[in-house]
């Protein structure tokens, strides 16, 4: 769950803010809002993963590094281990499994009329 950060395309922050009609305070407030949303989503997915008793296997971790598009997955994994970053990887995998469960088990009860009309 990445934050939707602006694309500056070589612009300074001040120029980007001016071009988008924002003040620095509005920009910072928006970042705080996005960070709050990400934190809430992570907490909700963590709670669901606990409820579902989601497990992250060593094979899951290996696959995560193999599909990450890095040049040397094993060396990258070793670096993450050495830097103590593996818990974050496992948390990310656990949340992804919770999202997958939600997608597979969601029952749509409300129709987006705008999207329906576009079809």
The pLDDT value given to residue 79 = 95
Q: How deeply is 49 buried, as exposed, middle or buried, from its count of CB atoms within 10 A (0-12, 13-18, 19+)?
A: buried
Q: pLDDT digit string (tens) for 57-92?
A: 999 999 999 999 999 999 999 999 999 999 999 999
Sequence-separated contacts (24+) of 47-56 with Cβ below 8 Å: 48/98, 48/101, 48/102, 49/94, 49/95, 49/97, 49/98, 52/97, 52/98, 52/101, 54/94, 54/97, 54/98, 54/101, 56/90, 56/93, 56/94, 56/97
Tell me the pTM.
0.70
User: Which of the pair, 7 or 62, is modelled with greater confidence?
Assistant: 62
99 confidence band (pLDDT: 50, 70, 90): very high
């Amino acid at each position: 769950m990445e934050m939707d950060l602006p694309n500056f395309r070589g612009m300074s922050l001040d120029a980007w803010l001016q071009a988008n009609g924002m003040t620095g305070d509005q920009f910072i407030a928006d970042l705080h809002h996005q960070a709050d949303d990400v934190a809430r989503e992570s907490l909700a997915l963590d709670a669901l993963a606990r409820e579902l008793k989601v497990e992250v296997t060593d094979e899951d971790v290996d696959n995560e590094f193999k599909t990450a598009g890095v040049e040397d997955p094993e060396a990258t994994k070793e670096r993450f281990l050495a830097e103590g970053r593996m818990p974050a990887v496992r948390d990310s995998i656990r949340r992804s499994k919770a999202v997958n469960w939600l997608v597979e088990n969601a029952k749509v009860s409300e129709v987006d009329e705008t999207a329906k009309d576009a079809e």
